Structure 1
Amino acid sequence: MRKMLAAAVSRVLPRVAPKPASRMLGAAGTFADNATFDIKPCELYRLEEGPPATAVLTREEGLKYYKRMQMIRRMELKADQLYKQKFIRGFCHLCDGQEACCVGLEAGINPTDHVITSYRAHGLCYTRGISVRSILTELTGRRGGCAKGKGGSMHMYGKYFYGGNGIVGSQGQVAEAFNMASLWKLPCVFICENNLYGMGTATDRAAASTEYYKRGHFIPGLKVDGMDVLCVREATKFAADHCRSGKGPIVMELQTYRYHGHSMSDPGVSYRTREEVQAVRSKSDPIMLLKDRMLAGKLASADELKDIDAEVRKEIEDAAQFATTDQEPPLEEIAHHIYKDNPPFEVRGANPWIKFKSVS
């Protein structure tokens, strides 16, 4: 996990030593160091016990999670705008609405754990430590992108992160992966981000059984509230501990919701109503839920969170400015970085007479 966002927090509220009563005095009043919240219990499969039904949230964690989720939300909205302005071309799959999944997952694992994901990957890119500027610049196909402008939305990579793969839960490969992981007791957490729709089809119209956390059959599973960052964090910690203790793999189904359509060519309203989307926004929005908890637990003030919102908007605008003005990669570098460590070699272009050199 990246360093805690201490700099951003202290910019809003000066650091002071906690008082003996475990509270912190700030410009807006007295803040609690931490608070305990009830969370929705996970549904279990082939498990005698699961994650706790309560979670402790510290003030520092709350501010960090809030800023991360706001950053992802604003980044995706900016990507939507850049796509409509034709700065972003090709495939682009946005994850706004699903912020609690990526932020909660990162909060429950180690920075050296390996993460691989499918194409809706922008949020996980960010939580894995890739900057917003690098992500947006990759989307616009410029040299400063995290894959040097060659991968776009579907092929983003970072340290310990192998994301943006186009195949999602292909049944044969998933069954084989489940089987090998179980046979070899591999420390692997399989995650289904169930946002209720496969492209344009509701899950209950496409699957006789929508209990995806049971799809591992012989592998234990958890069904998790994917709109609650604390629920996702506690479930992830439980699943990671399960794997690290030598018990083999586990399946996690995160029940979440995407606000945008499947991709930029999908308005997202032909197979679901606007009222449905609005109902989720008003009742289950992950950022709203965390904000309400932080205010109720006296972990932050409304003005402090507004300052974070303003800081996030500025960072997104600065990143977008760079992403739309950075240079495109030159044609002669199109074959570079095919392999990580390899002597330079020639790569044939569109016809036998066009040659490019690959440099690691």
Structure 2
Amino acid sequence: MSMETDQLLEAGTELERGAATLDADQFLKAYKTMRMIRSFEERVSEEFMKGNIPGFIHLYSGQEAVAAGICLLLDDNDFVVSTHRGHGHCIAKGADVGAMMKEIMARQGGLCDGKGGSMHIADIERGMLGANAIVGGGPPLIVGAALSAKTLGTDRVGVAFGGDGSSNQGTTFEAMNMAVVLKLPAIFLFENNGYGEGTHASYAVGSKDIAGRAQGFGMPAYKVDGTDLFAVYETCKKAVEHCRAGKGPVTIEAEVPRFRGHFEGDPQAYRGEGEIEKLQAEKDCLKIARAAAIKMKLVKAKALDDIDREVAETIAEVTAAALAAPAPADAELLTNVYSSEY
């Protein structure tokens, strides 16, 4: 392999190294994003069980630090492409949670006029190019976005989120190879939660190492503890800076837990006894971030408690508004289905 071996980084925790890579304002912003995602997903689960949300729902609970960490480094001009588990990415990229809740409930005023739903939610103005129900469907799209950034001479970055399942798709391999060949500012961020639906990654990923396999395409690849916000931010910062400098693509493999089933209603017979409870007790990124920040005297507990209350109020308000909103009119059925701008 022509690449230096130290490009495959096993990221440890910033707390253990004694370095707070986020300042207080950055941490509070990231913590609020994480709390908003968690509270949003909990309420979505409740409303789904009540029958207020159509279609399938795939929740992001447990993986919040990854979306919050990378998106803290991006702005509206940077691009992200999401997955079927996309609510967290959308929130972290700055989408309005009220419009998101309406979209997921298929109501007027939703981000996509209530016609995209959970698996096709998007906010183009925020650079969120959409969730994608096709496993491995995002990487080719982000290659196109990254190519546009390079062609126009900007320093924009494109991030393709994916799970361990998508890491095995041919579309992903082709996209990664093209990104290297064209030296594109693309980040392939794999959130390895251990399960491709119900198949464990230890079986499905032949190399047993998503980052190591990605390195073979000719790009730097990093592994990071996805429950550690500080480590995620530090690793993603290196990747974003690498891309903005015109040095080509990067892969990040973040190891994260998935607290919920593949979809809401998943019986999860593939899980071990007590597995979820153990993950929630030991691998909750919100608890880990909170404890680390307080220990480092970065913030005080009261500030985090205030955020928790503020977020709870926001989620209650946007849910009530979404439930009161009307469904799209019949006349809207064929509008905004295809773009006529280009």
Are residues 1:247 and 2:214 paired? no
User: What is the identity, as a one-letter code, of the residue corresponding to 1:248?
Assistant: G
1:280 is matched with: 279
CA distance in 2, matches of 1:101, 1:330: 37
User: What is the identity, as a one-letter code, of the residue corresponding to 1:121?
Assistant: G
1:79 is matched with: 44
Give the counterpart of 1:165 among 132, 138, 145.
Answer: 132
Q: Which has the higher strand share?
A: 1
Residue 234 of structure 1 and its aligned partner are, at CA, apart by 1.1
Residue 245 of structure 1 and its aligned partner are, at CA, apart by 2.2
Residue 342 of structure 1 and its aligned partner are, at CA, apart by 4.7
Q: How does 1:161-200 map to 2 (within 5 A)?
A: 161-169=128-136, 171-200=169-198
Q: 3-state SS of the aligned residue for 1:76?
A: helix
Where structure 1 has 5 or more consecutive residues not aligned to the other structure, the ranges are: 1-43, 344-360
**Cα-to-partner distance string for 1:130-149 (whole Å, 9 max, x where unaligned):** 11111111110001111110
Q: 3-state SS of the aligned residue for 1:190?
A: strand
Residue 235 of structure 1 and its aligned partner are, at CA, apart by 1.0
2:84 is matched with: 119
The answer as to whether partners of 2:82 and 2:131 remain within 8 angstroms in 1 is yes
Give the counterpart of 1:89 among 54, 61, 70.
Answer: 54
Structure 1 runs (4+) deviating above 6 angstroms are 48-52
Residue 247 of structure 1 and its aligned partner are, at CA, apart by 2.1
The answer as to whether partners of 2:257 and 2:283 remain within 8 angstroms in 1 is no
Q: TM-score, normalised by structure 1?
A: 0.78
Change in Cα spacing, 1:327 to 1:48, as seen in structure 2 (3 Å) is: closer
The answer as to whether partners of 1:45 and 1:213 remain within 8 angstroms in 2 is no
User: What is the identity, as a one-letter code, of the residue corresponding to 1:127?
Assistant: A
Root mean square deviation of aligned Cα: 2.0
User: What is the identity, as a one-letter code, of the residue corresponding to 1:212?
Assistant: I
Residue 80 of structure 1 and its aligned partner are, at CA, apart by 0.3
Q: Which has the higher helix share?
A: 2
2:333 is matched with: 334
Which deviates more from structure 2 when the two are superposed, residues 211-220 or residues 258-267?
A: 211-220
CA distance in 2, matches of 1:48, 1:312: 37
2:270 is matched with: 271
CA distance in 1, matches of 2:178, 2:205: 24
The answer as to whether partners of 1:260 and 1:267 remain within 8 angstroms in 2 is no
CA distance in 2, matches of 1:325, 1:125: 23
The answer as to whether partners of 2:190 and 2:252 remain within 8 angstroms in 1 is yes
> Larger C-alpha radius of gyration, 1 or 2?
1
CA distance in 2, matches of 1:128, 1:189: 15
Q: How many residues align?
A: 299
Q: Percent identity?
A: 36
Residue 50 of structure 1 and its aligned partner are, at CA, apart by 8.4
Give the counterpart of 1:58 among 9, 14, 23.
Answer: 23
CA distance in 2, matches of 1:56, 1:276: 31
